[in-house]
A and B are shown apart, each in its own frame.
Chain A
Amino acid sequence: METAPHTSSGIRPAKLVIEGVSKRFTSQRNMVQALDNVSLSVAEGEFVCLLGPSGCGKSTLLNIVAGLTRPDRGRVLADGRPVEGPGQDRLVMFQESALFPWLDAFGNVMFGLKLKPDLTNRERRRIADEYLDLVGLGTFKHAPIHELSGGMKQRVALARALAPDPHVLLMDEPFGALDAMTRDQLYDDIQRIWGESRKTIVFVTHNVREAVCLGDRIVLMSPSPGRIAQVFGIPLPRPRDINSPELASYASRIAAALKGTTNGAASE
């Protein structure tokens, strides 16, 4: 199962190509090599999970793909074009709620849509309604953000990220702050939505079971310096149940490999 470049059949065109990306952060006291010569290619419609312990550079890599951080070396190609900055073709869903409290749920979903000049206002409203329905929050359209639960907030964030129809959806530990039951529900939803929309998704997590449940491929990263340690293909059928024994057996193998990367780092 190891180092499978693509999972399902056929050769799909590469949606994202990460070429030799390096990034270091320097503070007054020390220097961290967050990413060291990382290369990765993500196919169209693929669900890739970046998995690793904290400090392995997975979030940095996501930010570089999003265009929010510039790499020191290397480059990212999205649809064959080099990434120069943020773009509506690559939308990000953040770990903490980045929803705007001065807007209601509908207003938040509309924010990105209003920045698409080729839509009419009528189309924007229709699309916003559609995506709020898709995440099951149609009835909470005009709810103030602070009245929503953590899970509902992340659903609104998901609708907001999906509504402008990005080619790539970047998710930075979006369920990290949620309780287990809410998360299990969201795993089902995200698989259903991904199945319908066939977006290319890059999903950052440190939760092994979450990665196995969601990813076509799992890119295991190791810290200091941040590198790709191993790539696993997960050929399990979908929709996957996070509590299934097949999933657990994959997860335990990957967890062992993850342990190896952290121990290796500690002994360096």
Chain B
Amino acid sequence: MKRAALAFLFFASLAGAWELAVRSGRWSAVLLPSPVLVAEYIRGALLDGTLIESTWVTLKRLLVGYAAGVLIGLPLGLLTSTSQFLKDTLGALALGFQTLPSVCWVPLALVWFGQTEGAMLFVVIMGTVWSVIIATDHGARNIPPIYARAARTMGSEGFHTWTRVILPASLPFLVSGMKQGWAFAWRSLMAAEIYVTILTGFGLGHLLHYGRELNAMEQVIGIMIVIVAIGLFVDRVLFSPWERFLHRRWGTDLKEA
């Protein structure tokens, strides 16, 4: 309760400082709209449904792309952890592509897929999959070898060892990898939505983009706040339960999200 009150106080004073900065008149009201104006925009957009619709469009793309990225990256990461050859080839590829900012995939996606949902998904998957591969590989390589030895003596081998020992043992690394993958997916999608204009769905990134074109800074800032809020919310909903489970079982002092 006290923590919540303190956090509220912090954000309230942040908004207060912002309002003061606007009132000082040093910046044009067009460039720096007051927080009240931004709040009004968000309220209006919520009421006329544009914000809900865009959020839904964006989240759908995000979840599909992220799920695909994890489903591709997880097995590949486990695979690269098994052999030096795969680590030197596929692993190096993943490391290289991970350093590539996901917005760099946009031109390629546009040429290959045109202005379609496919282009969006492609950018999100490319932004997610490499970091998931690397985190999974790292996790599987850091499992104490004694777990696998103990399992072998008890009669576990092959697929059973993978699903019952290697996978659960690397869970702490997988969760941090998936969390990182999530952050990458979110960034990639925003880049894709800002640069790829398509007619099949109007996402948050598009609202942001058109806010700039219309010179409506209260819309730009309002959407940015919504994007941050969604990022925080999904982080809590998706990852907090996992982290609590890990904390209980491993006793590791993972920072609460």
Residues of chain A at the chain B interface (Cβ within 8 Å) = 66-68, 85-88, 90-92, 94, 96, 98, 100-104, 111-112, 115-116, 144-147, 160, 164
Contact = CB atoms under 8 A, between A and B. Distances in A.
Given A102-B249, A147-B251, A68 B169 contact: no
B146 A94 contact: yes
6 contacts: A67-B153, A87-B155, A101-B169, A102-B250, A103-B168, A111-B164
Interface in B175-200: none
A115 B149 contact: no
Interface in B134-163: 144, 146-147, 149-156, 160
Contacts of B144: 98
Interface of B: 144, 146-147, 149-156, 160, 164-165, 168-169, 171, 248-251
Of the listed residues B153, B156, B171, B248, the one surrounded by the most CB atoms of chain A closer than 10 A to its CB is: B153
A128 B251 CA distance: 24
A144 B144 CA distance: 18
A98 B147 contact: yes
Contacts of A88: 154-155
B160 to A, nearest CB: 8
Contact of B153 (A92, A96, A116): A92
Contacts, number: 65
Given A100-B169, A115-B156, A146 B150 contact: no
A87 B153 CA distance: 6
A111 B168 CA distance: 13
Given A144-B249, A146-B249, A146-B250, A91 B154 contact: yes
Contact of A98 (B146, B155, B156, B164): B146
Given A100-B168, A160-B154, 4 more contacts: A98-B149, A111-B156, A115-B160, A164-B155
Contact of B251 (A111, A115, A116, A144): A144
Contacts of A104: 249
A67 B149 CA distance: 10
A78 to B, nearest CB: 13
Contacts of B251: 101, 144, 146-147
Contacts of A144: 248-249, 251
A63 B16 CA distance: 68
Contacts of A66: 153
Nearest to B146: A98
Given A100-B165, A101-B250, A146-B250, A86 B153 contact: yes
